């Protein structure tokens, strides 16, 4: 067996360890693995192009990310923070739990690409969450901001991960069906989706409690600071 193509994994590990841009690191790892596997450069480039063209979700990111970048350059994050400051009754927990409802509901309908870390969390949800946290605890430290951003990103991730399995036409559901079929267990996609529904509800409740506890911890720190 030719183990040399596994050097592409080392390229990814080293690239991420030194914090290089993820896109050239992944492309470079693909080139290294392909060349060491014996593929000619034109064939390898053709394979990468074919994979890129067949991935519709990747094309969606390619089309949307420049627009989001321009909006951020024009001050989208700052506007989102000001919007949050004007909404007096919208707390951090209400914001994130409301987003979790929308995110998980859309994922259940198969609309997983409508929201996400790049589309909504970084430009909108994270700055709005920081503004909501600052209304309770003025002068957030860098560690506090990292925690708020992490909770916002986790809320998005949990909403998608546990909501998408309820959609019967999703690849994950079909993968589960195929796995059980290989072991002689025949399951319909609808039954898999129905059994995923209690898990999605439990994930929503658990994450909502975690968000509420996180807000409560910030509120206690704010009271201690005032005292």
In the chain the first and final C-alpha atoms are separated, in Å, by 68
Is residue 62 very low, low, confident or very high in pLDDT (cuts 50, 70, 90)? low
CA-CA distance, 126 to 83, in Å (whole number)?
A: 13
CA pair distance 98, 116, nearest whole angstrom: 15
Please answer whether residues 175 and 118 qualify as being in contact, where contact means their C-beta atoms are separated by less than 8 angstroms.
Answer: no
Distance of alpha carbon 190 from alpha carbon 198, whole angstroms: 14
pLDDT class of 103 with cuts at 50, 70, 90: very high
| 153 pLDDT above the threshold of 90 | yes
Kindly tell me if the per-residue pLDDT of 59 is higher than 60.
no
Residue with the bigger pLDDT between 59 and 218: it is 218
SS3 21: coil
């Amino acid at each position: 067996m030719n183990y040399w193509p596994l050097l592409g994994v080392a390229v990814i590990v080293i690239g991420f360890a030194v914090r290089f841009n993820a896109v050239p690191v992944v492309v470079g790892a693909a080139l290294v693995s392909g060349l060491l596997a014996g593929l000619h450069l034109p064939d390898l480039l053709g394979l990468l192009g074919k994979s890129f063209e067949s991935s519709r979700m990747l094309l969606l990111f390619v089309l949307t990310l420049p627009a989001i970048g321009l909006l951020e350059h024009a001050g989208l994050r700052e506007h989102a923070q000001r919007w949050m400051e004007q909404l007096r009754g919208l707390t951090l927990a209400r914001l994130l739990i409301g987003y979790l409802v929308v995110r998980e509901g859309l994922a259940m309908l198969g609309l997983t690409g409508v929201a996400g870390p790049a589309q909504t969390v970084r430009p909108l949800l994270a700055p709005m969450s920081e503004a909501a946290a600052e209304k309770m605890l003025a002068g957030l430290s860098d560690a506090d901001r990292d925690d708020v951003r992490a909770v916002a990103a986790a809320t998005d991730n949990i909403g998608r991960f546990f909501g998408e399995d309820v959609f019967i036409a999703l690849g994950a559901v079909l993968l589960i069906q195929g796995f059980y079929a290989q072991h002689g267990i025949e399951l319909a996609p609808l039954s898999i989706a129905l059994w995923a529904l209690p898990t999605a509800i439990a994930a929503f409740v658990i994450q909502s409690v975690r968000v509420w506890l996180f807000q409560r911890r910030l509120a206690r720190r704010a009271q201690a600071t005032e005292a």
